[in-house]
Structure 1
Amino acid sequence: MTVRTRFAPSPTGFIHLGNIRSALYPWAFARANRGVFILRIEDTDLERSSQAAVDVILEGMNWLGLMPDEGPYYQMQRMERYKQVLAEMQAKGLVYPCYMSVEELDALRERQMAAKEKPRYDGTWRPEPGKALPPIPEGVKPVLRFRNPKDGVVAWDDKVKGRVEIRNEELDDLVIARPDGTPTYNFCVVVDDMDMRITHVIRGDDHVNNTPRQINIFRALGVEPPVYAHLPTVLNEQGEKMSKRHGAKPVTQYRDEGFLPDAMINYLARLGWSHGDDEIFTREQFLQWFDLDHLGTSAGRFDEAKLRWVNAQHMKMTDDATLAGFVAGPLRQMGIEPDGRLSALCALFKDRCDTTVALAQWLRPYYQDVTPSEADRAQYLTDAVRPALAALADALAQCDWTKEGIAAALKAVLGAHGLKMPQLAMPVRVLVMGTPQTPSLDAVLALFDREKVVARLKNA
C-alpha cells in the first residue's frame, strides 16, 4: 500500500503556525514512507474564501519546502463529481429528501433542550417500512440527509487518541446537500478522500466530531475509511487556541522576520511530536525519525523565545554560503546590494544573531555610514585615546590588509602608547561599527574596505 496523505485548508483567512503544523505532519509521514502528499483547497465557503488566502497558503508551503506531490485540487472544481455520487446514493436509498424548514428545526431543538434532551434532528422525513411521511409542503426545496445507521457503534483506532467509539444513536441524519443541491462539507471530504485514495488523515482534533459521520458515509459507499490521527490544538503564548483573532501571524511573516525554513520545521515538529530528548535536528533527521506513534496527546504551546533559540541554533549550523542567500533579502530591504564578502561576514557574525534580519543589521556598517551614539562617543572617544586612534589610522593605511597584518598594526600602536587592547579596541569599534561590542577586532576590520576604516578612525 502506498501511503497517501493530504492537507486540506479552507482559504478563509491567512495560514498561521497552527494551520501549517497540520500540513507538516502529513507531509512528513508521506515523505518518511515514500508516499504521496496531496494539497486540497476546501473552498466551498464562497462568501469567505479568497484567492489571496490561497496565495498565502501556497507561498507559505513553498517557503517551508512542504510542496505537494499532487494538487492543489479545488473543491469548487469538483461539484459535478459530488452531484454524481449524491445521485448514486439517492438511487440506493442511502439519502432522502427532508422538507423540515429552518424554523421547524429550531423549534424542535428548543423543545428538546427544554426537556433536557440532546438537540438533534428527529427523523421526521426519514422513510421507514410502514411509516407515513408528512405531506410534502408546496414550494419548499428539500435538503438531502444521509441515512445514518440507527444501531451499533462507529469506532476507529486513532493514532493520537487511541480507541474511539460513538454510538450511532448519538448521531442524527446529517444534511449532505443544501436546498440548492450544493453538497456540504462532510460529504465533500468523504468523496475527496475516497477519490484521492487517502490512506491516512492527519488533522486537528477540532475535526474529531466529524469523523464518525464521515466513517459512516465511507462505509455506506463500500469504502474502507482511512487511518485517522487527530492532533491536539496549538495554543498561543496566552494559552488560547492559536487564531488570527488571538494575534496569530501569517506564516509568511516569520519568513519576513528572518526565520529559516528548516528552523521553523524543527520548531513546529516539536509542537506535537518528539524523538526522545532531541531538540535540534535537521530536516533530513526529522524525516528519518518521523512516525505517528510519537505524536503528543496534549496541546502544544507556542513560545517565541524558544523559536528564536531554535532559529539561532540553525543559523550556527547552516553553511555560510547558504546562510548568505537568506541574509541577502533583508540586506536588499535596507537598500544594500550584497557583494562577495557576504559569506565571510555571515561566518563572522552569525553566532550573535537569532534571525537573518538581526544578522543583516550587524552587516549594515560594511555597506552604509554609521553614526555612533553620543553616549558611546562620550564614554569611549576620550582625549587620552585620540592620539592612539590617529596613529592607528596611519598604521592601517600602510599595513598588509589581512587579519594578521591588522593584528600587528594594533599591537604596535598599543605598545607605542602604553595601552591595553580594550582601551583601544572599544573606541575603534564605536567609530567603525557604531557599537563597542563586536567579534575579534582584527577579523572585523579585515572584511572592511581599508579606506572606509581609515576615514572613520580619522572622524574621532
Structure 2
Amino acid sequence: MKIITRFAPSPTGYLHIGGARTALFNALFARANGGEFKLRIEDTDRARSTDETVQAIVDGLSWLGLDWDGETVSQFARADRHREIVDTLIENGAAFRCYCTAEETEALREQAFAEGRALRSPWRDRAPSEAPADTPFVVRFRASDTDTVIEDAVQGQVRWGAKEFDDLVLLRGDGNPTYNLAVVVDDHDMGVTHIIRGDDHLVNAGRQAQIYNALNWDIPVFAHIPLIHGPDGKKLSKRHGALGVEAYRDMGYLPEGLRNYLLRLGWSKGDQEYFTDAEMIEAFDLKGLGKAPARLDFDKMSSVNAWHMKRAEDTRLTDLLWDRLECREDVRLDDQAKVWVSSAMKVLKERAATLAELDDQTYFLIRPRPIELTGKAAKALKDDAKALLSRLAEVLRDTPDWTEAALGEVLNAFAEAEEVGFGKVGQPLRAALTGGAPAPDMSFVLAVLGREEVLDRLNDVMD
C-alpha cells in the first residue's frame, strides 16, 4: 500500500505553530515510507478564505521547508462532488432529508440533552412526501444505532456509544456541504491512507468512521496527537506563543531548527534531541508519538536552533542576516561591511542561538562611523586611555603580520611594555572599536576589521 498523508488547514491568515507540527508529522511519515504528502485547503468558510489567507498558509509551509506533492486541493471547489456523495447516501438509506424548523430542532436538542442522548430527527423514519410543499430542509446522516469503534495509532482503541452521536447535518439548508462530509469525501478521493492530526478531532473521527462505513470505503489509519500546551500546562494561546511560523522566522529561528524542535514536541526516539532532515525521515514512525500534551519551551527551542546555527553554511547565514539588517538604519551595509560579517561568521555563529542574536553579535562590525560612545564605553576612554591608544595605534600601524594569533601577541607585548595589566589596554580598545557592543577577543576583532579600519576607528576616538 502506498502511504499518502495530507495536511488540511483552514486558512486563518497564518500557519499556526500547532498546524506546522501536524504538517511536519504528516510530511515525515510520508517521506519515511516512500509515500506522498498532499495539501488541501479547507476553504469552505468563504468569509475567512481569501487569496491572502490561503497564501499565508502556503508561504508558511514553504518557509518551513515542507514541500507537498501535486497540486493544492481546494475543498470549496469540490462542493459538487460532496453533493453527489450525499445523493448516494440518501439512495442507500444512510442519509435523509430533515424538514424540522430551527425552532423544532432546538426543542428536540433540549429534549435529547435532558434524556442524556444525542439528537435524533423524527424525519429519519418519515417519508419526504409528508412534508408540506416547498418546505426547506437539510440533509442529515442517519447516526448508527450501535457503538462506533476506531483503532487509533496514538490513542489506542476508542469507543463511543450509539447515543453519543446525533443525526449529523451533511448538507445545510443552502445546499452547502458540512465539514465532516467534505473531509471524508476529499480524503477518500485523494487516496489518503493515514491521517495525523490533533486530538481535538478525535470525536470527528468517530463521526467520519460512520460515514466511511456507510459508503463501504476503507477507513484511513487515524493518529490523533495531543495538542501543544504552554509552559504552564494550559492550552496554548497567543500569550504563550501560539503564533504563526512567520513570527518564529522574524524572531530569528532557522527553518531546520524549528523543524527539529517541532519534531521533538510530542515525538521521541530514545534520548536523541538533535536531528538532521535525513535523520528525521529515517527515524520517524507513529510509535514515537506520545499521548501526553507537549509544552512549548522557548529555551529548548533556542538550544535546538543553536545546534543548527553552528551547522549552517557561513554564506547562507550571512545572506539571511543581511536580509534582516536591510530594514535597519543604524548599520553600515556596504560591500566592505558584508565582507567583515562573512569572514567573522565562523566564529560569531558559535555565540548565537538565533539570527536575532547573530544580529547583536555582528553589530560591532557594521556600526557606522564615528561610533557613538555612551555609558561604560565613554567612561573607558578618558584622556590617559586615549594617549595609550595613540601609542598602540603606532605599534599597530607597523605590525607586519596582521593575523589573529600575531595580533594577540602584539597586544600582550604592548601591555607589558606599558607596564599595565591587559585590561588597561583591552577595555579602552574594545570601547573604541566596538562602542561596547558584544564582540569576541580583541585580537579577533582586529584581524577581521583589518588594519585600515582599526586605525580609522582609533583616530575617530582620538580626534
Instruction: Give the structure-1-normalised TM-score.
Output: 0.93
Q: Offset of 1:247 from its aligned partner? A: 5.5
| Superimposed CA distance per residue, residues 79-127 of structure 1 (whole angstroms, 9 cap, x where no aligned partner) | 12112222222232321100011111111222333x3523x32230013
| SS of residue paired to 1:108 | helix
**Alpha carbons 1:95, 1:147 under 8 Å: kept:** yes
1:426 alignment partner in structure 2? 427
206-215 or 395-404: bigger deviation: 395-404
Question: Residues of 1 paired with 2:207 and 2:299: CA distance?
Answer: 41
Q: Does residue 289 of structure 2 align to residue 295 of structure 1?
A: yes
Q: Offset of 1:169 from its aligned partner? A: 3.8
| SS of residue paired to 2:56 | helix
**Alpha carbons 2:363, 2:437 under 8 Å: kept:** no
Question: Residues of 2 paired with 1:161 and 1:121: CA distance?
Answer: 27
**Alpha carbons 2:194, 2:222 under 8 Å: kept:** yes
Match of 1:217 among 206, 211, 216: 211
2:356 alignment partner in structure 1? 357
Q: Offset of 1:383 from its aligned partner? A: 4.0
| Superimposed CA distance per residue, residues 114-168 of structure 1 (whole angstroms, 9 cap, x where no aligned partner) | x3523x32230013xxx677931344211111123312x2222111101112233
1:164 alignment partner in structure 2? 158
Aligned positions of 1:9-408 closer than 5 A:
9-113=9-113, 115-118=114-117, 120-127=118-125, 135-151=130-146, 153-244=147-238, 248-334=242-328, 336-337=333-334, 339-369=338-368, 370-378=371-379, 380-400=380-400, 401-408=402-409
Structure 1 residues 74, 436: CA separation in 2 closer, same or farther (over 3 Å shift)? closer
Question: Residues of 2 paired with 1:24 and 1:133: CA distance?
Answer: 47
**Alpha carbons 2:252, 2:356 under 8 Å: kept:** yes
| Superimposed CA distance per residue, residues 378-426 of structure 1 (whole angstroms, 9 cap, x where no aligned partner) | 1x22444333211111222232333244334323422321123222112
1:409 alignment partner in structure 2? 410
Amino acid aligned to 1:140: T
Question: Residues of 1 paired with 2:75 and 2:245: CA distance?
Answer: 23
| SS of residue paired to 2:130 | coil
Structure 1 residues 291, 200: CA separation in 2 closer, same or farther (over 3 Å shift)? same
Question: Residues of 1 paired with 2:158 and 2:59: CA distance?
Answer: 36
Structure 1 residues 68, 74: CA separation in 2 closer, same or farther (over 3 Å shift)? same
Q: Offset of 1:50 from its aligned partner? A: 2.6
Give the number of equivalent residue pairs. Answer: 453
Question: Residues of 2 paired with 1:421 and 1:437: CA distance?
Answer: 18
Amino acid aligned to 1:55: Q
Task: Show structure 1 runs of 5+ residues with no match.
Answer: none
**Alpha carbons 1:6, 1:198 under 8 Å: kept:** yes
Question: Residues of 1 paired with 2:354 and 2:444: CA distance?
Answer: 22
335-344 or 188-197: bigger deviation: 335-344
Amino acid aligned to 2:393: A
**Alpha carbons 1:426, 1:436 under 8 Å: kept:** no
**Alpha carbons 1:273, 1:296 under 8 Å: kept:** yes
Question: Residues of 2 paired with 1:244 and 1:362: CA distance?
Answer: 29
1:444 alignment partner in structure 2? 445
Instruction: Give the structure-2-normalised TM-score.
Output: 0.92
Amino acid aligned to 2:396: L
Structure 1 residues 411, 257: CA separation in 2 closer, same or farther (over 3 Å shift)? same
Question: Residues of 2 paired with 1:433 and 1:275: CA distance?
Answer: 45
Amino acid aligned to 2:135: V
Q: Offset of 1:292 from its aligned partner? A: 0.3
**Alpha carbons 1:16, 1:243 under 8 Å: kept:** no
Question: Residues of 2 paired with 1:278 and 1:37: CA distance?
Answer: 25
266-275 or 402-411: bigger deviation: 402-411
**Alpha carbons 1:272, 1:299 under 8 Å: kept:** yes
Amino acid aligned to 2:319: G
Task: Show structure 2 runs of 5+ residues with no match.
Answer: none
Q: Offset of 1:452 from its aligned partner? A: 2.3
Question: Residues of 1 paired with 2:4 and 2:60: CA distance?
Answer: 22
Q: Offset of 1:304 from its aligned partner? A: 1.5
191-200 or 217-226: bigger deviation: 217-226
**Alpha carbons 1:42, 1:75 under 8 Å: kept:** yes
Question: Residues of 2 paired with 1:437 and 1:184: CA distance?
Answer: 57
**Alpha carbons 1:198, 1:226 under 8 Å: kept:** yes
**Alpha carbons 1:431, 1:457 under 8 Å: kept:** yes
Give RMSD over aligned pairs.
2.1
99-108 or 278-287: bigger deviation: 278-287
| Superimposed CA distance per residue, residues 174-201 of structure 1 (whole angstroms, 9 cap, x where no aligned partner) | 1101112111100000000100010100
Question: Residues of 2 paired with 1:332 and 1:202: CA distance?
Answer: 40
